[in-house]
Homo-oligomer: A and B are copies of this chain.
Amino acid sequence: MIPGPYLLYLGHSADPIGIKTSRGLATFRPDDCVGEFRYDDCPLTLGLKRLTIAEGASAGSRTLVLGIANSGGTMGADLIADAVAALEAGMNVAAGLHQRLRDVPRLVALARERGLSLFDVRDPPADLMVGTGYPRAGRRLLTVGTDCSVGKMYATLALTTALRARGIAADFRATGQTGILIAGGGIPVDAVVADFISGAIEQLAPARADDGWDVIEGQGSLFHPSFAGVSTGLLHGAQAEAIVLCHEPGRAHMRGLPGRTLPELAECLAMNLQVARLTSPSVRAVGVCLNTSALDAVAARALCERTEDVLGLPCTDPIAFGVESIIDALYAPHA
């Protein structure tokens, strides 16, 4: 486990989506966050107290979380310099980039010298097996998306919480760095060796017999040319009986790919069901989650209603309106 409380890193980030790991911790584990670290050129904030690295350490932070993501996941010189400063101030450092802290000799040497730890959250387990797709017991719900970073993790957490609120056993199964930091466990599926994608999910959400749910965080999109392989293996490994489609209205293009438009919701839903059927022949869609944070409440409600009419599924913004309608659909009689 990564020692808290945390100082959350924003650095020079100007991309609201790029700071989603820091934001996720601030949102879902606020009591474990002492503040945020950002440079003057960073236009973003998590609404936490702005602290220097030294101030963060003085305020009791035990770990600097480099909670920023960039496509490709490399670590720049500035990020390394800030990690050095954190170690020198007596904090551990955690990161979820593809490039590992432990592969930076300077950080490794300094951490050892100070008796501190480096946490590479994106390290997959070493003992993964290839998936089989054989039917396994248990109830599983998977969130899927039109794109990366459209709110799949928020929806998955909200669905887990709502199930538990009804007295139903449910576990959030994290597949990305942010979810893993929030949950304290999981498998970073985009970092496993390609042959083991579905096997990793079979391991993350194994057979269960308590009639409870594994609520699995989706990744990427079948329509994202960079990451669809991950999404495909995730669908096959999840063997979900139910999927929930997540989407952010108004997004101009697929994440990181100017010029590539998002798929239509209906098309995206159909493709996800088609791919999922390989290992879960009776899979069904039970709802749609929209991230309407850019809309006012009236427009958001109207959009959810229109989407319900078009797709014939409950549609909600999990943050603004909750997910009760989707839980109802999950337990409603169906063909």
Give the B-binding residues of A (Cβ under 8 A). Answer: 71-73, 98, 129-134, 189-195, 197-199, 222-223, 225-234, 236-237, 256-257, 259-260, 271, 274-275, 278-279
Contacts and interface: CB of A to CB of B under 8 A. Distances in A.
Given A228-B236, A229-B231, 5 more contacts: A130-B227, A133-B225, A193-B193, A195-B227, A198-B226
Copies of this chain in its oligomeric complex: 2
A132 B257 contact: yes
Contacts of A226: 130-133, 195, 198-199
B189 A194 contact: yes
Contacts of A194: 189-194, 197, 229-230, 233
Given A225-B236, A225-B278, A195 B131 contact: no
Nearest to A199: B226
A86 B222 CA distance: 46
A198 B233 contact: no
Residue in A194, A231, A275 whose Cβ sees the most chain B Cβ within 10 Å = A194
Q: Which of A234, A275, A278 is packed against the most chain B CB atoms within 10 Å?
A: A278
A257 B191 contact: no
Nearest to A254: B133
Nearest to A229: B233
A134 B278 CA distance: 29
B193 A98 contact: yes
10 contacts: A72-B129, A190-B195, A194-B233, A197-B229, A197-B230, A198-B225, A228-B278, A229-B234, A232-B232, A232-B233
